[in-house]
Structure 1
Amino acid sequence: MNVTTQIKQWAVDRNLHTANPDKQMLKLFEELGELAEGMAKARPDQIKDSIGDVYVVLTILSLQLGIDIDECIAMAYDEIKDRKGRMIDGVFVKEADLKEGDE
């Protein structure tokens, strides 16, 4: 059983899959805040934990909304897999968003 399946089962066992998705969104922002704090304070363990927490929260949110998280990830990857662009000041800018002077 992969970790995503374990997360889903954990959520079902605790009836989180039927809970209010609005509350899960609040939890997502809480976890993103912890990730931002970890980044700001250069705390690698907090960063790793927070990234994991964000994934757990998104997995549970997808259950609550009746959406398959794996399908979401596949859709996102399909959208970016052939994307071209450039790094500008440490940020990847997709080709469609580049201005004439950036190219």
Structure 2
Amino acid sequence: MIKDLDEKIISWARWRDLHKKGTVEGQAIKTAEEVAELIIGLSKNDKDKIIDSIGDVYVTLVVGNLIQGKADFERAFNRAEIDSKNTVGHYGAPDKAEQIINLMMATKEVLILGYTTHTISFLLMVIMIVAGENQLNLKNCVESAYEEIKGRKGRIIDGTFVKESDLIDKD
């Protein structure tokens, strides 16, 4: 169940003090960075990058909600599931350009409004659609992202977690 992964991601973030030292602004920028990676993956038809980026975007949403603490993540997720099915059912599958535009619009809302039930739901809906259009399972993408980060070490700089390998590159 994806809720189990949410709890693991929250534990990972708490262990690294993101809930105390992270900022909404820093996390929103992290979300935007991961969405940019997803857009690059889509534009290059790079399935591995798409899988990685979908999972990473999801992780940033869970952590962003933990930091801001205003949204009902479960409600946002459930609404996104319904909206993604209704959107594709009503309008048809969005092409790659529409997927990219929708990712940018949803990210803009996170950057402006932070992590609200609405903004989380909107971006979740978009990544659910992207996953579906690329024959991917969202839970598998999130599991893959969690497996990659679970042992990751680093520091919080300007309200954002920076992984150890990126710190070494900057020294």
Report the TM-score when normalising by structure 2: 0.47
Q: How do 1:1-80 and structure 2 match up within 5 A?
A: 2-18=4-20, 19-66=22-69, 67-77=71-81
Distance 1:16 1:61 in 2: 9
Q: Which residue is equivalent to 1:96?
A: none
**More RCO (CA 8 Å, sep 6+):** 2
Q: Percent identity over the alignment?
A: 33
Please identify, of 14-23 and 53-62, the stretch whose mean Cα deviation from structure 2 is larger. 14-23
Please identify, of 11-20 and 48-57, the stretch whose mean Cα deviation from structure 2 is larger. 11-20
Which aligned segments of 4 or more residues in structure 1 are displaced greater than 3 angstroms? 75-84, 88-91
Report the TM-score when normalising by structure 1: 0.74
1:42-90 CA distance string (max 9 Å, x none)? 1100100000000000000011111332222123345566666232874
Matched residue of 2:10: which SS? Answer: helix
Q: Which residue is equivalent to 1:86?
A: 91
Distance 1:16 1:89 in 2: 35
Distance 2:52 2:85 in 1: 27
Instruction: Report how many aligned residue pairs link the two structures.
Output: 91
- Bigger share in helix: 2
RMSD over equivalenced CA pairs, Å: 2.4
Unpaired runs of at least 5, structure 1: 92-103
Matched residue of 2:45: which SS? Answer: coil
Matched residue of 1:42: which SS? Answer: coil
